[in-house]
């Protein structure tokens, strides 16, 4: 009898920890009876879920729109951007090169953090404004749904940078970064909970 446990590699950053593998535990048992040979196994970790096969690579992109209609976007080389306090900032998270139009992009949380890494602000949690910070309920808004497939693009607006405490930064050139944690969900396998998107 043998138990197999995979090794999980984690990357620790100032704003959290990133893992790209799930815990797996297998219990394997081999039995030999004269004239009969059998092998059995028990999966002790949660189900792997169904596999998804496709050609090519797909990913998730976070980008900044220039207007509320999301008609054009700032190119990567245009950053960093200089924004006035209180002005709207239009963010979009989208699924790229999706092999299946029925897949749903879920946004678990989005954070803003300074380059110095001294703090982090949770803007969205479970797809909604951070319930632990009442100021963010007014600072985060949701825009009309994007064009089809709507379930693979998420759009929201923040008021720049109302989540920052007064006097938090002495350096006027402090850069703020955004990061979102997402999940790609198949409605054929499980319910895909949307949070506040699409309301």
Query: How do residues 73-106 score in pLDDT, each as one tens digit?
Result: 988 777 678 887 778 889 999 998 888 888 888 8
Mean local confidence (pLDDT), 177-184: 87
Are 127 and 92 part of one and the same domain? yes
The pLDDT of residue 119 is: 73
| Spatial separation of the C-alpha atoms in residues 111 and 15, rounded to whole Å | 9
Strands (DSSP E) along the chain, which ranges?
2-5, 10-13, 16-19, 25-33, 36-43, 59-65, 88-96, 104-114, 121-125, 128-129, 140-142, 153-159, 176-185
CA 60 to chain centre: 8
| Spatial separation of the C-alpha atoms in residues 131 and 140, rounded to whole Å | 11
Tokens of 62: 């976070």
Are 109 and 159 part of one and the same domain? yes
Contact predicate 128/110, CB 8 Å: no
The pLDDT of residue 112 is: 84
The pLDDT of residue 75 is: 85
CATH number at residue 72: 2.60.40.4100
What percent of the chain is predicted at pLDDT more than 70?
Answer: 64
What percent of the chain is predicted at pLDDT more than 90?
Answer: 4
Nearest to 87 by CA among 160, 178, 172, 162: 160
In a domain, 10, yes or no: yes
Q: What value does the mean pLDDT of the chain take?
A: 75
Higher-confidence residue: 70 or 51? 70
In a domain, 172, yes or no: yes
Residue reference for tokens 């797909």 = 58
Mean local confidence (pLDDT), 145-174: 74
Contact predicate 184/105, CB 8 Å: yes
Which residues contact residue 171 at a Cβ distance below 8 angstroms, ignoring those fewer than 6 apart? none
pLDDT band for 6, please (50, 70, 90 cuts). Answer: confident
| Spatial separation of the C-alpha atoms in residues 155 and 199, rounded to whole Å | 12
pLDDT band for 122, please (50, 70, 90 cuts). Answer: confident
In a domain, 192, yes or no: no
Q: Is the pLDDT of residue 184 over 70?
A: yes
Are 137 and 67 part of one and the same domain? yes
Higher-confidence residue: 92 or 21? 92
Helices first, then strands: H and E counts in the chain: 1, 13
Mean local confidence (pLDDT), 165-175: 66
Pick the range with the lowest mean pLDDT from 28-42, 105-119, 143-157: 28-42
Contact predicate 122/129, CB 8 Å: no
Q: How many domains does the chain have?
A: 2
Other residues' Cβ atoms within 10 Å of the Cβ of residue 10? 10
What residue numbers bound the domain in which 9 lies?
A: 2-43
| Spatial separation of the C-alpha atoms in residues 106 and 127, rounded to whole Å | 7
């Amino acid at each position: 009898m043998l138990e197999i446990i995979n090794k999980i590699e984690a990357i620790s950053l100032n704003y959290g920890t990133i893992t790209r593998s799930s815990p797996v535990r297998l219990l394997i048992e081999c039995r030999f009876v004269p004239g009969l040979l059998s092998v059995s196994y028990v999966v002790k970790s949660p189900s792997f879920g169904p596999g998804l096969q496709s050609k090519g690579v797909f990913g998730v992109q976070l980008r900044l729109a220039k207007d509320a209609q999301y008609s054009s976007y700032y190119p990567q080389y245009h950053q960093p951007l200089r924004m006035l306090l209180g002005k709207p900032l239009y963010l979009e998270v989208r699924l790229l090169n999706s092999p299946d139009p029925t897949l749903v992009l879920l946004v678990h949380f989005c954070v803003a953090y300074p380059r110095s890494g001294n703090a982090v602000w949770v803007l969205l949690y479970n797809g909604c404004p951070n319930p632990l910070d009442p100021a963010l309920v007014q600072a985060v808004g949701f825009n009309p749904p994007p064009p089809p497939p709507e379930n693979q693009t998420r759009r929201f607006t923040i008021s720049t940078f109302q989540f920052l405490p007064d006097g938090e930064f002495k350096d006027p050139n402090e850069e703020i970064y955004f990061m979102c944690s997402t999940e790609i969900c198949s409605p054929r396998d499980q319910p895909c909970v949307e949070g506040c998107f699409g309301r």
